[in-house]
Copies of this chain bind each other. A is one copy, B any other.
Amino acid sequence: MIAPRDSVGQRSETVRRSNLSAIVRELHLRGPLSRSDLVAHTGLTRSAIRGLIGELVGGGLVTETRSAPAGTPGRPSPIVHPEPRAAVVLALEVTVDSLAAACVGFGGAIHALVRVDRPRAHVTLEEIVADLVELAEPILAGTPHDELVGIGVAVAGIVRRTDGIVRQAPNLGWQDEPLGERLAAAFPQVPIAVANEADLGGLAEHRRGAAVDADDVIYLMGEVGVGGNVIVGGQALVGAAGYAGEIGHMIVNPDGALCGCGSFGCWETEIGEGAMLLRAGRSPSGGREAVDELIAAAEAGERRALESIGHVARWLGVGLATLINLLNPTLVVLGGVLARIHPLIAEDLDDVLDRRALRASREMVQVKPGALGTDGPLLGAAELAFEPMLADPAARLAAVDRNPPVLASA
């Protein structure tokens, strides 16, 4: 790994904040840990951990319990628990077929989750925002004002992360829509972050799903659109403005069909849900029901369904060979429809990869379906909303300190 050009020296006064962040992130992602585990995972000294945990207990973010005495000599190490009600986020999702909202607590506990179908038609930004606000209301009922630390939004489009503008969302009929700004007007009290749904699906699989502990991952989500997320050296690839990972618009077949983006032969035109349904003689806008039927037909041996799924396997292989040669990942995680058809295509896909990817990179990569199902992107939106608190828990502690909660015992 080559270090960045503008390496910056570390001031000692930033060390405390950075150490608090390391502890809080571990607890959020791994759940309850003993102090010894925290020493092992963060590389901090035992006394540093003791002091910082004291601060977090004081701020109500964690609690400690004695662990049961183990067979090993010495005092058992106390267990540190993230407090799931001390900080919660609101996660929202806008897909082509549905809207969803969830309230997720520190440590990843899902306090509430709701998903509603919506007609597959172009709608205005105002309508979507009104629907999201309505959906969120019961979800947030009972959440005190000061527990909510952030809002994360997953949307089926290309998003500029800095201001939450949806630059292009052909399947919603949007161009340059200020989704972040409108939601901020509806929820003025907390920071709002908006990102692409596939980026967030990948983030969720990386943090809590099929790609935990893998550092070089391609996440590929096939729905109406085909999107993805690339994890490089443990970090999400976002690009200069957050538009990176538009995997569905790799040109895999230069002589191929017109794509919603205006180009031709994008991967989406070969492996997207619509193309798959159309090639099997079904309505490309049939949605989840039509996909269920197609998969059942393929499993029953219907020729046209099998041919269509075989076509997806081949083009999935061609595009993945390019990505594997380019990115040298250890893991490819399939989401959405592609996860559902994976058992049907696994063998053909392996065969294409063997023939078309470079041997050195091919032999170290595994392809598997995601672990989080449909709610992956929504859970990723929750992770995005937690990010400011994980990056700087000291700021959260200071905020709690200014508005101390009423404690049962102090």
Q: Tell me the A residues contacting B by CB distance below 8 Å.
A: 1-12, 15, 18-19, 21-23, 25-26, 29, 41-45, 48, 158, 160, 167-168, 203, 206-207, 212-213, 215-216, 230, 232-247, 249-254, 261-264, 318-319, 321-322, 325-330, 355-361, 364, 383-384, 387, 390-391
Q: How far is the CA of A44 from the CA of B11 in the complex (A)?
A: 6
Q: How far is the CA of A327 from the CA of B228 in the complex (A)?
A: 12
Residues in chain B near residue A322, CB distance under 8 A? 249-251, 322
| Contacting pair A240 B12 (CB below 8 A) | no
| Contacting pair A356 B263 (CB below 8 A) | yes
Q: How far is the CA of A4 from the CA of B215 in the complex (A)?
A: 9
Q: How far is the CA of A2 from the CA of B242 in the complex (A)?
A: 11
Q: How far is the CA of A387 from the CA of B5 in the complex (A)?
A: 11
| Contacting pair B234 A5 (CB below 8 A) | yes
A109 to chain B, nearest CB (A): 19
- Determine which of B158, B254, B356 lies in contact with A360 in the assembled complex, contact meaning CB atoms within 8 Å: B158
Residues in chain B near residue A48, CB distance under 8 A? 9
A260 to chain B, nearest CB (A): 11
Q: How far is the CA of A353 from the CA of B22 in the complex (A)?
A: 42
A320 to chain B, nearest CB (A): 10
Q: How far is the CA of A282 from the CA of B158 in the complex (A)?
A: 45
- Determine which of B246, B358, B384 lies in contact with A243 in the assembled complex, contact meaning CB atoms within 8 Å: B358
| Contacting pair B5 A207 (CB below 8 A) | yes
Closest to A52 in B: B9
Residues in chain B near residue A252, CB distance under 8 A? 251, 254
Q: How far is the CA of A193 from the CA of B159 in the complex (A)?
A: 40
Question: 5 tightest A-B contacts by CB?
Answer: A239-B328, A9-B42, A4-B234, A9-B44, A244-B328
A89 to chain B, nearest CB (A): 15
Closest to A323 in B: B326
Q: How far is the CA of A250 from the CA of B29 in the complex (A)?
A: 35
| Contacting pair A15 B10 (CB below 8 A) | yes
Residues in chain B near residue A250, CB distance under 8 A? 322, 325-326
